Amino acid sequence: MDKLLLLGDEAIAQGAVDAGISGVFAYPGTPSTEITEYIQASKEAKERHIASQWSSNEKTAMETAIGMSYAGKRALVCMKHVGLNVAADAFINSAITGAHGGLVVVSADDPSMHSSQNEQDSRFYGKFAQIPVLEPSNQQEAYDMTRYAFDLSEKFGTPVLFRITTRLSHSRSGVKRGEMHPQNELSLPSDLKQFILLPSIARKQYDVLLGKQAAFQEESEKSGYNKLIPGKDKSMGIVACGIAYNYLMENYQGEEIPYPVLKIGQYPVSRRLVREFYDQVDSVLMLEEGYPVLEELFRGILDEGKPVKGRMDGTIPRSGELNPNIVGKALGKEIAEGYPVPSVLRGRPPLLCDGCPHWDSFGALNEAMKDYGPGRVLSDIGCYTLSALEPLNSINSCVDMGASITMAVGAAEAGLVPAVAVIGDSTFTHSGMTGLLDAVNRNVPVTVVLLDNSTTGMTGGQDSAGLGKLESIIKGIGVDEKHIRIIKPLRRLHDENVKVFKEELAYEGVSVIIPRRECVQTLARRMKLKHAKKKETKESVNN
């Protein structure tokens, strides 16, 4: 079969297509976005009529995938780690309903918080839901494991969580493909009550899930993704989970690893392999990306066993990504640090793009807010969160998707009036709409600034679920039409826009101001494509 040069995300996407999926459902979030984008661009996916949809949020994506699984087809659902929090209700319940067609949930964790508001380890969610978790160590495993995940899901009638981290998602390697699996035929579950979580049925289904746990462990022992690699020096043993195994191998290129290594790629972990490993070594070095999930288990509550080194004793930094140098230092190797990074290349805080419409939106808002003093603008997650930094210093919060409006409602109820909520068009349809309904129902004096740049800008320009429909949605929620104001954020219209902001800040009710101008990045791409098409047409006519 073909060998392709793929990002880790793309390897998962190709693996899913070759595994015979009928649909992928996702909300864009770094570092998971490229999985769905790859499938959307795939010729094979188009030929197979694979549904690929950017959902309103991760919960709706998860529920849509459950529906496809219910109908007997294989479904992939993708999100970043914080998105799994949004999808948690449906995700945890899917463990109870079980799966019919293969159901695989990809959660891409972002250690070091390159573009996220926290670090979290999705393996805990897998343990919480009591379902199998797979964690690849490289791109080839990402491809192979994706195919295996669908087989595993159908074998046990359970969703499978697929956990990856940033570096694997966004690094590229050669991947050998396997045979394409045919897509499943439409079918219904043999037990039509399986997906009805009435308490009497849910209790039965929960017992079914508990009854599968021994089989999950047995499968983990024989799958090959967990294996004990012998070593001559038993003074130390190494447990390497997921991509940490790759970092370990980079420290022993061209030579044999002297210590026994327990490579972990599938959870729940095999107790037999852990016992066999633990009994033969004098101490343990834990290498795992994210939380010390296995390290805590190895140490136990009293921590009186053999010495265990890892994140909990500082051998590995407690937070952030691993890399070959961190692993090398933990092994006691001398690490070449290289030359100091020149100041011109050192990390600099990100900025809004030159020409971004948000500059003019926040410029007008800042001027209008001068009359009220600082600390009244609650924001959300998107490119516009960068307005918290110099030189704008416009916003005062960023907690989670959709929190700007609800926080503004709470602040207004506390007496902080006027309270302003800033939210993007995609985030609004993700989880801001319900907050606006709360505001309308409580009739609190809140001014919502809905920044409409006609795209999900932060993740590269995917369509927003509310594209072209924002005013009708806001009207439907119940905002008075007189207080839905559309402005064009341009410098030449600054005074006019400040006037609109001031008028609505003075209004003692719910108002929504929509600064609308296309994202400069999508505009540039659109113009480039238009120019190329025009040139192609002209050349065609001339020929």
- Cβ partners under 8 Å of residue 440, min gap 6: 477, 478, 479, 510
Contact 247, 286 (CB under 8 A): no
Cα–Cα distance list, 45 to 146, 187, 264, 429 (Å): 16, 21, 31, 27
Task: Read off the pLDDT of residues 96-152 as tens digits, 9 standing for 90 and up.
Answer: 999 999 999 999 999 988 888 888 999 999 999 999 999 999 999 999 999 999 999
> In the structure encoding, which two tokens stand for residue 111, read together?
């250690």
Contact 381, 402 (CB under 8 A): no
Taking the C-alpha atoms of residue 251 and residue 484, their distance in angstroms, rounded to an integer, is 60
Is-contact 542 534, C-beta < 8 A?
A: no
* Across 373-377, average pLDDT: 93
Burial class (CB in 10 A: 0-12, 13-18, 19+), 343: exposed
- The closest of 381, 383, 378 to 413, measured between CA atoms, is 378
| Cross-strand pairs, 151 | none
Of residues 411, 49, 122, the one with CA closest to residue 291: 122
Give 77's strand partners: 25, 105
Position 53 scores a pLDDT of 81
What confidence score (pLDDT) does residue 98 get? 97
pLDDT > 90: percent of the chain: 85
- The confidence band for 338, taking pLDDT boundaries of 50, 70 and 90, is confident
Least reliable range by pLDDT among 258-262, 307-311, 337-341, 379-383: 337-341
* 505-515 mean pLDDT: 97
Residue-level pLDDT at 520: 92
> Where do the DSSP E strands lie in 150-307?
160-165, 172-176, 227-229, 237-241, 261-264, 266-267, 284-287
Average pLDDT over residues 80-86: 94
CA distances to 20, 24, 101, 153, 232 from 51, rounded to whole Å, are 12, 6, 15, 20, 51
Interatomic CA distance for residues 84 and 88, integer angstroms: 6
Work out the average pLDDT over 523-540.
86
Instruction: For residue 225, give the nearest of 295, 146, 124 by alpha carbon.
Output: 146
pLDDT of residue 1: 62
Looking at the predicted structure, is the pLDDT value of residue 200 above 80?
Answer: yes
For residue 323, name the pLDDT band (cuts at 50, 70, 90).
very high
pLDDT over 80 at 542, yes or no: no
The radius of gyration of the chain from alpha carbons, rounded to an integer in Å, stands at 26
The amino acid occupying position 380 is D
Residues 270-295 have a mean pLDDT of 95
- Mean pLDDT over 38-52 rounds to 96
DSSP 74-111: EEEEEEEHHHHHHTHHHHHHHHHH--SS-EEEEEEE-T
Please provide the DSSP assignment of 124-141 as one string. HHHHHHT--EE--SSHHH
Confidence at 513, pLDDT banded by 50, 70, 90: very high
